[in-house]
């Protein structure tokens, strides 16, 4: 993969992001590369590869923006969990050298679409009134499936299955699966369970028209509606750059501490 134009995106609201951005620019400059740098709110096109310093939220916004131009995004974690990042700030120099030497792959991650809005992680539907439950009527391909009396509904991609959906009791999906997960949030019946469906399905969720509801895209963009919302697979894919030999299950063990020894307290 030939790469000529590099960029570094940073988040001024994330601690040490500017500091890490400057360090990254110096590392690239020492290798003969003059990269452009800009804040997360000033994204622009025209690059072959983009480094991102920040948490998963920063990476999500950057990946959504560059999905249309099919530009790979490489995350350097400054947040808490950092499921989408591939490098820590301690390993930044080694990671840059691997990228420049072509020791990476670009993984396509399916995205969700609702009208003009896209999501790499998930769409979340909730009632605008705080602390109120709502009735959500789920249809798939125009056919009724079930009604949820719940605090909300999450429609997640495999990438987003380790985010809000996991906290709400949904399953973890490997990123390569062509599937979506529908997870009710705090449903008021024990028979309401997460549902895994093909990514070719078209989802429609209706709500009580007398209440205002919100649709959140990756927890960042907000759309208000009061009747129904349609969600389907986006025609664009998020392009995540992963270092060679990167392993999803190792990431799970590390981030979720599955490999940590269990301690008994008597």
- Per-residue pLDDT of 160-190, as tens digits, reads 999 999 999 999 999 999 999 999 999 998 8
Convert the pLDDT of each residue in 77-88 to its tens digit. Answer: 876 656 787 787
261 pLDDT exceeds 60?
yes
Q: Does 85 share its domain with 155? A: no
Same domain, 67 and 135: no
The answer on pLDDT for 33 being more than 90 is yes
Residue 21 sits in which domain range?
A: 6-102
Cα-to-chain-centroid distance, residue 25: 25
Judge whether 240 and 220 are in contact, CB under 8 Å.
no
Mark whether 247 is an active-site residue: no
CATH number of the structural domain spanning residue 160 = 2.60.200.30
Average pLDDT over all residues of the chain: 90
**30 near 96, Cβ under 8 Å?**
no
pLDDT band at residue 118 under the 50/70/90 scheme:
very high
Q: Give the pLDDT score at 99.
A: 94
What is the average per-residue pLDDT within 50-63? Answer: 92
Q: Of these residues, 56, 122, 151, 218, which one is catalytic?
A: 56
**Would you state the structure tokens that stand for residue 175, as one six-digit string?**
């990123």
**Could you tell me how far CA 31 lies from the centroid of its own chain?**
31
Together in a domain, 161 and 198: yes
Q: Are residues 76 and 186 in the same domain?
A: no
Report the CATH number that the domain containing residue 45 is assigned in CATH.
3.40.50.10330
135 and 227 housed in the same domain = yes
Residue 246 lies in a domain: no
Query: Of 241, 159, 164, which Cα lies nearest the Cα of 199?
Result: 159
Copy the structure tokens of residue 151: 């605090």
| Residue among 117, 210, 192, 112 nearest 153 (CA) | 192
Tokens 């820590």, residue located: 88
Q: Give the whole-angstrom CA distance, residue 73 versus residue 61.
A: 11
Output the CA torsion 97→102→104→105 (10° steps).
160
Q: Which residue has the tokens 């959504």?
A: 64
For residues 8-13, average pLDDT? 92
pTM of the model: 0.90
- Supply the pLDDT for residue 221: 85
Q: From residue 125, how far is each of 38, 128, 184, 217 by CA, in Å?
A: 32, 9, 10, 9
pLDDT at 252: 78
Regarding whether 117 and 81 lie in a shared domain, the answer is: no
């Amino acid at each position: 993969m030939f790469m000529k134009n590099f960029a570094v995106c940073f988040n001024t609201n994330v601690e040490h992001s500017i500091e890490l951005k400057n360090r990254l620019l110096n590392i690239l400059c020492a290798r003969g590369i003059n990269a452009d740098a800009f804040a997360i709110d000033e994204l622009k096109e025209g690059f072959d590869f983009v480094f991102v310093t920040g948490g998963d939220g920063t990476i999500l916004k950057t990946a959504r923006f560059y999905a249309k131009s099919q530009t790979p995004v490489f995350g350097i974690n400054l947040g808490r969990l950092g499921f989408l990042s591939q490098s820590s700030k301690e390993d930044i120099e080694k990671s840059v050298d691997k990228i420049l030497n072509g020791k990476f792959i670009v993984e396509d991650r399916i995205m969700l679409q609702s009208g003009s809005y896209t999501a790499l992680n998930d769409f979340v539907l909730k009632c605008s009134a705080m602390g109120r439950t709502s009735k959500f009527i789920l249809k798939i391909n125009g056919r009724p499936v079930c009604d949820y009396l719940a605090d909300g509904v999450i429609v997640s991609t495999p990438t987003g299955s380790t985010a809000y959906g996991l906290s709400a009791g949904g399953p973890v999906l490997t990123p390569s699966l062509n599937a979506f997960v529908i997870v009710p949030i705090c449903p008021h019946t024990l028979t309401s369970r997460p549902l895994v469906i093909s990514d070719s399905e078209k989802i429609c969720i209706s709500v009580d028209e007398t209440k205002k509801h919100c649709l959140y895209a990756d927890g960042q963009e907000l759309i208000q509606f009061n009747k129904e919302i349609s969600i389907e697979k986006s025609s664009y894919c998020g392009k995540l750059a992963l270092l060679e030999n990167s392993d999803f299950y190792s990431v799970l063990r590390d981030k979720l501490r599955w490999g940590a020894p269990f301690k008994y307290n008597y």
